Amino acid sequence: GAVVSQHPSRVICKSGTSVKIECRSLDFQATTMFWYRQFPKQSLMLMATSNEGSKATYEQGVEKDKFLINHASLTLSTLTVTSAHPEDSSFYICSAGEGGYIQYFGAGTRLSVL
Amino acid sequence: KQEVTQIPAALSVPEGENLVLNCSFTDSAIYNLQWFRQDPGKGLTSLLLIQSSQREQTSGRLNASLDKSSGRSTLYIAASQPGDSATYLCAVEGGGAQKLVFGQGTRLTINP
């Protein structure tokens, strides 16, 4: 099956720094990638949808200047959490679709901001 | 706005039992419904996908049903095993753009 690689799996950073998370589709071209956020014991909340070569579409309440998304190629999307603060600590998961209704999920990144 | 609810939030049963997880959604205009498995600190594994025109899907010991008109889906797990312990999430896709709306999940524990 299709594989989505997400890196890093875990990151710990100091407050005020920026963190970049990568999401790669390894064996298919992802026309659309999605970024989700999951708080402990809660569900996944869609943050934004990104299409290759165009600006990401953010969900209501998600700060686009805080969470920068770049989808520069059909196999790579990045999420940068800028000036991270402790309240940004969460589990971030990406998924990728190749045009149909199936999304393939990455293993997630646990971000801890001190 | 679509809302997805899963009941119960947590379930603990002895090994070997058959069990049912429930999922309900408020807007019946969906394209499909999926059930996922999530192990602690891990990503999601897709278990079953039911298209809006379908009533059920089966994979091994898993059977998922969909009643779109009543906004409900169930995931039936037969002969549960300790390896089935995980959080099970249901998600619906509707409104286009492949957007998924997830429920809060059911944390399942199968006791040996």
Query: Which residues does residue B107 pair with via DSSP β-bridges, in sequence order?
Result: B10, B87
Residue A106 to residue B93, Cβ atoms within 8 A: no
Query: pLDDT tens-digit profile of B10-51?
Result: 999 999 999 999 999 999 999 999 999 999 888 889 899 999
Query: Which residues does residue B65 pair with via DSSP β-bridges, in sequence order?
Result: B56, B74
**Looking at residue A1, what is its pLDDT?**
66
Close Cβ partners of A54 (under 8 Å, ≥ 6 residues apart): A71
Any chain A CB within 8 A of the CB of B44?
yes
> Per residue of chain A (114 residues), what is the pLDDT tens digit?
678 999 999 999 999 999 999 999 998 888 889 999 998 878 899 999 998 888 899 999 999 999 999 988 889 999 999 999 999 999 999 999 877 677 889 999 999 999
Residue A43 to residue B89, Cβ atoms within 8 A: yes
Could you tell me how far CA B110 lies from the centroid of its own chain? 17
CB environment B68-99: b (16+ within 10 A), e (fewer): beebebbbebeebeeebbbbbbbbbbbeeebb
Report the residue from A44, A106, A107 with minimal CB separation from B102: A44
Residue B99 to residue A46, Cβ atoms within 8 A: yes
Residue ranges of A 70-89 with Cβ closer than 8 A to chain B: none
Confidence class of residue B87 from pLDDT cuts 50, 70 and 90? very high
**Looking at residue B15, what is its pLDDT?**
97
Close Cβ partners of A49 (under 8 Å, ≥ 6 residues apart): A32, A33, A34, A56, A57, B97, B98, B99
**Looking at residue B96, what is its pLDDT?**
65
CA–CA separation, B101 and A59 (whole Å): 12
Query: pLDDT tens-digit profile of B64-78?
Result: 999 999 999 999 999
Q: Which of B93, B1, B89, B18 is nearest to B50 (CA)?
A: B93
What is the arithmetic mean of pLDDT over B40-63? 92
